[in-house]
Chains A and B, each alone.
Chain A
């Protein structure tokens, strides 16, 4: 492995583990020392063990394909990503600040709309957002907790600064894989955890449960919390059942719940109906309540919105919170932080051009080959244009799309995402990564120690989504020796 690390060529961007000359970054030195004792074939053996563990534990995710749904094993790379604890403290303060401001923003949008009146955010952005729900007007929530669970994507630029790439406020997923990655890692490289002080992260389910309980609208001492899943065919079903299991709460489908004449939510038990106080929903707004939203949806619960608006049940994340999960609105988040908190944002945004703005659009259309163009409301890395990697035809296609519907597109400079040494066919090579930490906001705020590191396994690729061939790594927040 020593030789491998010497051969390792740090890419043009920032490497999370090694410096330009191949020396380890301070936080990674203990890891690199450990790796030096292993040969490449040792590593491959450990990687095989990790994959066998994943198969045995049945850690999988579901992919939609032409042939139907298939369960795929979770892709995992043995070599972890390492972040210094002090640096992480800063990042987590920035994430809490951001979510606090976003929650104040959402509540404001559905009440006084002060920020629109002050002209900080243009009204038409809100009114044209597909996740804006007029049905939520007048709602005020306990602890202002609209987006109670947020999974923000972070990237580093060439000099190693963290940027927020996007906020996922609707039904962010991946946290179970973050926890499973750690569990697999502990099984495969147990010694490392004795030698290096890596902050634990497995308290997440308890933090999640305590946050959900803090949302309970009544003063009952034993709130009944459930996780609402679209069902066993959903791509994140593994995660839904994982979280319900770890929290010891019921995993329910829409058909298990019923709203009574008293506007309370009940679940169908073997001995009749039982009242539900808090719902952690993992289905989209549009399917939540056929009485209010999509009438054809068989996934949701008729009357759920009625129960929520009557204050008889808490829903996390609250309906309508997706209004702040729009890539156009993203551009305004620094201003949103300043407006509600009177603070400077701790974490910067990636510079973003809004195609709805005349000036920005002209710039974007003239520089398509340099930019990443994203639709405002897609997830999973679909419908992207990565300018520098696109051919003429694709660029022209996006030119048309933008001109047709400028509101729906934003563009950002192509960042050279940071890299982490990764076990590849040819040996250990740099591969691009991003990071999705999870932030909770109920009575208290909480940020995971690290997050889910996703890695683009294909050489040079920037696409990290697991549905598109990306992999994942364990993420270590390392406390310095003797501190």
Chain B
């Protein structure tokens, strides 16, 4: 039993928590990359803006593409609805308004980390302290996910949380895979890029926390193509597109009236199963990932029509369902 309104808020809650964690990871790793790469490879902070599709917002509100500006837009800028602090606020707001459907710790955990980031927001401006703060945020998000896993039942509320988490995760994985593309395209010095490619791809794996799993699974040297294969097709990795889409299918089929949702998930799966010949950093890859993102956003829309704002037929017809 679950109210449509509550289902929607739970779905968004999970999306925001996932987004907060991914944003924190991405920013942290981007800084790491800066330390690792030689000065001759000009790493671009603006990549972070492009990754989150925030170019319009950035160009309107910031004058220079500096580290400080890019990081602030991504993390601390309250007016940017996609920033870490905004996502955290929205996650908190979604728990505040569904507190009755979740374990009490859910509210306490998110409230705690929100207050902490809010009180220490200036740390985001200083590189050394920023990383410590981001580390704390990542841990808090993991604690929330783990706590929900450990204390909830496999009921409708939990499934909507999972649904939101998976959709956001698949979206973020597809965006991160695009990093290589931005990276390659923006350097004047292709040989050098190639030379440091393994550092780049290792950091990408780290940015989503699965470097270790990659090392365990894939024995070859780290390169773009193998990372893409890992993140797109490996059906055992929680963050791979294939895994996310299969879980989405499974979850949705356990939820009521899911015929249309399953149809659009199938479209995403078709894309994943029949990939074009792709290569890291190529425009084919970029276009392919674009298609994936469109498919994900289609799933999102159908979830709305199906569960969150369904057309309510005449009450007398509906009674038979209960």
Name A's B-contacting residues (CB within 8 A).
55-58, 227, 232, 241-242, 244-245, 249-253, 255-256, 258-262, 266-275
Q: Which of A56, A58, A253, A255 has the most CB of B within 10 A?
A: A58
Q: At the interface with chain A, which of B26-34, B50-58, B105-113?
A: B105-113
| Partner pick for B315 among A241, A242, A250, A266, CB 8 A cutoff | A266
Selected A-B contacts with CB under 8 Å, 15 pairs: A56-B108, A241-B96, A249-B100, A250-B3, A255-B5, A258-B315, A260-B315, A262-B316, A268-B4, A269-B2, A270-B7, A271-B321, A272-B318, A272-B322, A273-B321
B150 interface residue (CB < 8 Å to A): no
CA distance A255 to B4 in the complex (A): 10
Task: List residues of chain A with CB within 8 A of the CB of B111.
Answer: 56-58
| Inter-subunit contact A272/B256 (CB<8 Å) | yes
Task: Please give me the residue from chain A that is nearest to B255 by CB atom.
Answer: A270
Task: Please give me the residue from chain B that is nearest to A268 by CB atom.
Answer: B4
| Inter-subunit contact A258/B3 (CB<8 Å) | no
| Inter-subunit contact A58/B108 (CB<8 Å) | yes
| Inter-subunit contact A244/B100 (CB<8 Å) | yes
Question: With contacts A270-B156, A271-B257 known, is A251 near B312, CB below 8 A?
Answer: no
Tell me how far the C-beta of B159 lies from the nearest C-beta in chain A, rounded to whole angstroms: 9
| Partner pick for B256 among A252, A260, A271, CB 8 A cutoff | A271
Task: List residues of chain A with CB within 8 A of the CB of B112.
Answer: 56
Tell me how far the C-beta of A125 lies from the nearest C-beta in chain B, rounded to whole angstroms: 39
| Inter-subunit contact A57/B108 (CB<8 Å) | yes
Interface of chain B residues 80 through 94 with chain A (CB within 8 A): none
Task: List residues of chain A with CB within 8 A of the CB of B316.
Answer: 260-262
B136 interface residue (CB < 8 Å to A): no
| Inter-subunit contact A256/B5 (CB<8 Å) | yes
| Partner pick for B1 among A56, A57, A242, A269, CB 8 A cutoff | A269
B39 interface residue (CB < 8 Å to A): no
CA distance A415 to B108 in the complex (A): 41
| Partner pick for A262 among B104, B256, B312, B319, CB 8 A cutoff | B319
Task: List residues of chain A with CB within 8 A of the CB of B322.
Answer: 266, 272-275
CA distance A260 to B314 in the complex (A): 8
Task: Please give me the residue from chain B that is nearest to A243 by CB atom.
Answer: B100
Interface digits, B53-92 against A, CB 8 Å rule (1 contact, 0 not)?
Answer: 0000000000000000000000000000000000000000
Question: With contacts A252-B3, A269-B1 known, is A241 near B321, CB below 8 A?
Answer: no
Task: Please give me the residue from chain A that is nearest to B7 by CB atom.
Answer: A270
Interface of chain B residues 4 through 37 with chain A (CB within 8 A): 4-7
Q: Is the interface of B mostly helix, strand, loop or mixed?
A: helix
Tell me how far the C-beta of A7 lies from the nearest C-beta in chain B, rounded to whole angstroms: 36
Given contacts A241-B96, A260-B316, A270-B256, 9 further A-B contacts (CB under 8 A): A250-B6, A262-B315, A266-B318, A268-B3, A268-B310, A269-B3, A270-B160, A271-B257, A274-B322
Task: Please give me the residue from chain A that is nearest to B116 by CB atom.
Answer: A56
Task: List residues of chain B with CB within 8 A of the CB of A250.
Answer: 1, 3, 6, 100-101
Task: Please give me the residue from chain A that is nearest to B316 by CB atom.
Answer: A261
B266 interface residue (CB < 8 Å to A): no
CA distance A266 to B322 in the complex (A): 10
| Inter-subunit contact B312/A258 (CB<8 Å) | yes
Q: Which of A249, A268, A275 has the most CB of B within 10 A?
A: A268
| Inter-subunit contact B5/A253 (CB<8 Å) | yes
Tell me how far the C-beta of B252 lies from the nearest C-beta in chain A, rounded to whole angstroms: 11
B243 interface residue (CB < 8 Å to A): no
Interface digits, B224-257 against A, CB 8 Å rule (1 contact, 0 not)?
Answer: 0000000000000000000000000000000111
| Partner pick for B4 among A244, A256, A266, CB 8 A cutoff | A256
Question: With contacts A245-B104, A272-B256, A274-B322 known, is A58 near B96, CB below 8 A?
Answer: yes
| Inter-subunit contact A256/B319 (CB<8 Å) | no
Tell me how far the C-beta of A215 lies from the nearest C-beta in chain B, rounded to whole angstroms: 20
Tell me how far the C-beta of B13 lies from the nearest C-beta in chain A, rounded to whole angstroms: 14
CA distance A420 to B318 in the complex (A): 57
Task: Please give me the residue from chain A that is nearest to B115 by CB atom.
Answer: A55
B307 interface residue (CB < 8 Å to A): yes
B189 interface residue (CB < 8 Å to A): no
CA distance A56 to B307 in the complex (A): 33
CA distance A251 to B3 in the complex (A): 9
Interface digits, B279-316 against A, CB 8 Å rule (1 contact, 0 not)?
Answer: 00000000000000000000000000001001010111
Task: List residues of chain A with CB within 8 A of the CB of B257.
Answer: 270-271
| Inter-subunit contact A272/B321 (CB<8 Å) | yes
| Inter-subunit contact B3/A232 (CB<8 Å) | no
B206 interface residue (CB < 8 Å to A): no
Task: List residues of chain B with CB within 8 A of the CB of A245.
Answer: 99-101, 104
Q: Which of B1, B100, B108 has the most CB of A within 10 A?
A: B100
Task: Please give me the residue from chain A that is nearest to B315 by CB atom.
Answer: A260
Q: Which 8 interchain pairs have the tightest Cβ spacing?
A: A271-B256, A260-B315, A244-B100, A272-B321, A58-B111, A245-B100, A251-B100, A241-B99
Task: List residues of chain A with CB within 8 A of the CB of B4.
Answer: 256, 268-270
Q: Which of B3, B4, B112, B319 has the most CB of A within 10 A?
A: B3
Task: List residues of chain A with CB within 8 A of the CB of B99.
Answer: 241-242, 245
Tell me how far the C-beta of A365 lies from the nearest C-beta in chain B, rounded to whole angstroms: 48
| Inter-subunit contact B3/A267 (CB<8 Å) | yes
Task: Please give me the residue from chain A that is nearest to B321 by CB atom.
Answer: A272
CA distance A244 to B7 in the complex (A): 16
B97 interface residue (CB < 8 Å to A): yes
Tell me how far the C-beta of B34 lies from the nearest C-beta in chain A, rounded to whole angstroms: 35
Task: List residues of chain A with CB within 8 A of the CB of B1.
Answer: 250, 269, 274
Task: Please give me the residue from chain B that is nearest to A271 by CB atom.
Answer: B256
CA distance A252 to B310 in the complex (A): 17
CA distance A270 to B156 in the complex (A): 9
Task: List residues of chain A with CB within 8 A of the CB of B96.
Answer: 58, 232, 241
CA distance A126 to B49 in the complex (A): 66
Interface digits, B107-127 against A, CB 8 Å rule (1 contact, 0 not)?
Answer: 110011001000000000000
Task: List residues of chain B with CB within 8 A of the CB of A251.
Answer: 100-101
CA distance A271 to B1 in the complex (A): 8
Task: List residues of chain B with CB within 8 A of the CB of A249.
Answer: 100
| Inter-subunit contact A256/B318 (CB<8 Å) | no
Task: Please give me the residue from chain A that is nearest to B256 by CB atom.
Answer: A271
Task: List residues of chain B with CB within 8 A of the CB of A262.
Answer: 315-316, 319
Task: List residues of chain A with CB within 8 A of the CB of B314.
Answer: 261
Question: With contacts A56-B112, A241-B100, A272-B256 known, is A260 near B319, CB below 8 A?
Answer: yes
Task: List residues of chain B with CB within 8 A of the CB of A274.
Answer: 1, 322
Q: Which of B5, B256, B257, B307 has the most CB of A within 10 A?
A: B5
Task: List residues of chain A with CB within 8 A of the CB of B310.
Answer: 268
Tell me how far the C-beta of A51 lies from the nearest C-beta in chain B, rounded to whole angstroms: 12
